[in-house]
Amino acid sequence: MANDTSHVKALVFDVFGTVVDWRTSITREISAVGSRLGVDADWQAFADRWRAGYSDGMQEFRDGEREWRTADQMHRERLDILLPEFGITGLSEEETDQLNRAWHRLDPWPDSVEGLTMLKSKFIIGTLSNGNIGLLVNMAKYGGLPWDVIFSGDLVNSYKPDPKVYLSTANLLNLEPHEVMMTAAHNGDLLSAQKYGLATAFVARPTEYGTGERKADLEAAPGINVGATSFIDLAHKLGIEG
């Protein structure tokens, strides 16, 4: 029974885009810096290109071109490129570091805290992000995310979709892979988790890249165990009332 989820004991969540709306938060932070300095630019484009720096950084590691680095380090490297390109100069080291930590201050999607709190009543809930543990802990405190446990590629110095990242969660929780459900707004992440034996849940986040921009990942791919429209909907679908 592909959709039997009765054996699931823990849910682990992709974070950027699935739990938090990084694009709106990052656009707001960089836009505020621009305003303060009297610089006008397409700050949504800045956010998208900053995010792409993280994806590119992980790919360089997967391709064997670079050493493993934390998300904070990849964010900072791309930030140092983007700031002058968008006309922002003269920030102090402290101001630049503070801006780089905008990724620690991302707003949850409106249903995230309520839905996670519901899910926590029945399941172990944890992150499973490529972001570093320090970033994820600060983000949880900022947004009130009620995680039971923080898992990250940080723990094995690799990134999803490396199987050891997915399997580290089951191993550290002393569970079987099928007792852990990967939850994400991105089918690629879920299909990888599924390949290594995890259960899977898709939660739609159609505006991650802005209204109408998302062409893929509008719904669960065939074979994903559960498809939901929010974390609250997911809780209902996993048998939690409220």
Query: Could you tell me how many residues make up the chain?
Result: 242
Query: Shortest gap between Cβ of 140 and a second copy (angstroms)?
Result: 6
Query: Shortest gap between Cβ of 154 and a second copy (angstroms)?
Result: 6
Strands 226-228 and 199-203: parallel
Nearest to 218 by CA among 186, 182, 181, 183: 186
140 binds a second copy (CB under 8 A): yes
Please provide the distance, in angstroms rounded to a whole number, between the alpha carbons at the two ends of the chain.
26
154 binds a second copy (CB under 8 A): yes
Cis amide leading into 161 (omega within 30)? yes
**Which sign, positive or negative, has the C-alpha torsion 136, 137, 142, 144?**
positive
37 binds a second copy (CB under 8 A): no
In whole angstroms, what is the distance from residue 68 CA to residue 169 CA?
Answer: 20
70 binds a second copy (CB under 8 A): yes
Work out the number of other CB atoms within 10 angstroms of the CB of residue 53.
18
Site string for a second copy, 119-138 (x = CB under 8 A): -----x-------xxxx-xx
Query: Shortest gap between Cβ of 216 and a second copy (angstroms)?
Result: 33
| Residue 172, C-beta contacts closer than 8 angstroms, at least 6 positions apart | 151, 155
Site string for a second copy, 93-122 (x = CB under 8 A): ------------------------------
72 binds a second copy (CB under 8 A): yes
Using CB under 8 A, pick the residue from 41, 175, 221, 240 that binds a second copy: 175
| Binding footprint of a second copy, residue count (CB under 8 A) | 21
Query: Shortest gap between Cβ of 152 and a second copy (angstroms)?
Result: 8
Query: Shortest gap between Cβ of 28 and a second copy (angstroms)?
Result: 24
149 binds a second copy (CB under 8 A): yes
What DSSP character marks residue 109? Answer: P
Nearest to 87 by CA among 124, 41, 43: 41
Nearest to 169 by CA among 134, 217, 131, 128: 128
The dihedrals phi and psi of 10, each to the nearest 5 degrees, come to -140, 140
173 binds a second copy (CB under 8 A): yes
Measured from the CB atom, is 134 or 206 closer to a second copy? 134
Query: Shortest gap between Cβ of 156 and a second copy (angstroms)?
Result: 10
- Which residues contact a second copy by CB under 8 A? 70, 72, 124, 132-135, 137-138, 140-141, 147-150, 154-155, 172-175
